[in-house]
Chains A and B, each alone.
Chain A
Amino acid sequence: MIRLRTLVLMTAATAVVAGLAVAQGGPDPIAGAIIARQSHMQLYQHNIAVLGGMAQGNTEYNAEAAVAAAGNLVALSSLSQMTYWPVGSEVGVAEETRALPALWTSMDDVIVKATALNAAAVAMQAAAGTDLAALQGAMGALGGACGACHESYRQPD
């Protein structure tokens, strides 16, 4: 059951994309994939920020909000990224990306690390609803999972 607001937003988004496609004579799959995966990362950032804010005492611990944010991380890390990483969208070939070529030659390892992130998010979902101390403890595995992939496959600053 899709909410009306969601339906309107989806329609508007589709219209924008379609409009752009018509304007450019067809969507650029490389640029589109890069934008999509970076947006995906920003969604991680947004939801981790909710948890991190509570962990560091900058915001009041709220179990419901924390569980919701962790639930988003679980959902995000479960999405299929099949079309996020087209060949030709790596550093050195495409613009505006930090994805290293090693990502494409080490897919097995990438999947291991993606699975670890999902596991850390699931653990956080359980911890977030328990208490603040549990949430704080679960930040380690979450950050570590993000870092493990970036360490190998994202171009350093």
Chain B
Amino acid sequence: MRAVIRGLIRFVFVLALIGAVVAWFLSAPDRLPGAALAGLTGDAERGAMVFAAAGCASCHTAPQAEATEAPVLSGGKRFVSDFGTFIAPNITNDPAQGIGGWTDAQVVEAVMRGVSPDGAHYYPAFPYDAYAKAAAQDMLDLVAHLRSLPVSDIASQAHEVGFPFSIRRAVGLWKLLFRSDEWVVAGDLTPEQTRGRYLAEALGHCGECHTPRNALGGPERANWLGGAPNPSGEGRIPNITPAGLTWSEAEIAQYLFSGLTPDFDTAGGEMAAVVRNTAQLPEADRAAIAAYLKVVPPVASPVASLAPAPVSQ
């Protein structure tokens, strides 16, 4: 009897060991291919528009920092989630505390693959799943722009994430399950809709907030942009598919410019920061985002549609 139990224990142990080895390999960092950036150089001025569309300043500036033309991306903002609280790092060109000592390729790999120069995974609070679809040239332009911004030597803070989510390597398995390089909205799109898709799905990462997530925090692509509970706990992030958002394209474009709704109320909460970014883009880009939103598959929403809210109370 004892021998059987010992044998069983040994069997389970070996199984667990094999499982761990398999998981180790499955969760390996997915590096950027070396040829991805061949022959390209970054342009900091073009990078300013990528920077605005990608919204880096909204997450990486210090808490309570005022909006400015040359933001200091010293980090420190806290993002509460079901998995813990993530704290945005310093991504200024500081050689010790930021990206100053990294090559351009390493920065692009971090942004597009969520992999650090040491080969560690970043948590998907960083929307690399979206940026993975960005054009390599845009990413290099972005890096050039980042390097032109003011430098800060404020140290990045560690995330407040408990076990088992503190096992960074496990994020590799999450990536395997939920990362995708495919566009969500497929099919024949006009050039304007295609540009809008690029801005929304690759750079603007709208889906990060507007798409519901499953229990493991993976996006439900079948309900793309269909709305989600607000991670900060209160209220809901709206459904912006045509089933939830009935504004005209002109009204959407106006909102992305001035933050004014068709009722002339204003964007509130996190969207105010988003509008500060989209306001910097060329008008054609805002129109393109609006055009894209009209061809997103409608998602039936359990909550009321984004009807214009009354100004009072």
Contacts and interface: CB of A to CB of B under 8 A. Distances in A.
B284 interface: no
A140 B268 contact: no
Contacts of A150: 266-268, 272
Nearest to B267: A147
Interface size class of B (residues with CB under 8 A): 20 to 34
B235 A151 contact: no
B235 A156 contact: yes
Contacts of B265: 45
19 contacts: A38-B313, A45-B264, A56-B254, A139-B254, A139-B257, A140-B257, A140-B279, A142-B258, A142-B260, A143-B258, A144-B258, A144-B279, A146-B266, A147-B267, A147-B268, A147-B272, A150-B266, A150-B272, A156-B268
Nearest to A47: B264
B251 interface: yes
B254 A55 contact: yes
Interface in A15-71: 38-39, 41-42, 44-45, 48-49, 52, 55-57
Interface in A106-157: 139-140, 142-144, 146-148, 150-151, 154, 156-157
A52 B269 contact: no
Nearest to A42: B311
B227 interface: no
Contacts of A142: 258, 260
Contacts of A38: 311-313
B258 A139 contact: yes
Interface string B281-313: 000000000000000000000000000010111
B263 interface: yes
Of B266, B272, B309, most buried by chain A (CB within 10 Å of CB) is: B266
Nearest to B254: A56
Contacts of B273: 151
Contacts of A157: 235, 268-269, 309
B259 A143 contact: yes
B311 A139 contact: no
Interface string B223-246: 000000000001100000000000
Given A139-B260, A146-B259, A156-B269, 14 more contacts: A38-B313, A48-B264, A56-B251, A56-B254, A142-B258, A144-B259, A144-B275, A144-B276, A146-B260, A150-B267, A151-B269, A151-B273, A156-B234, A157-B268
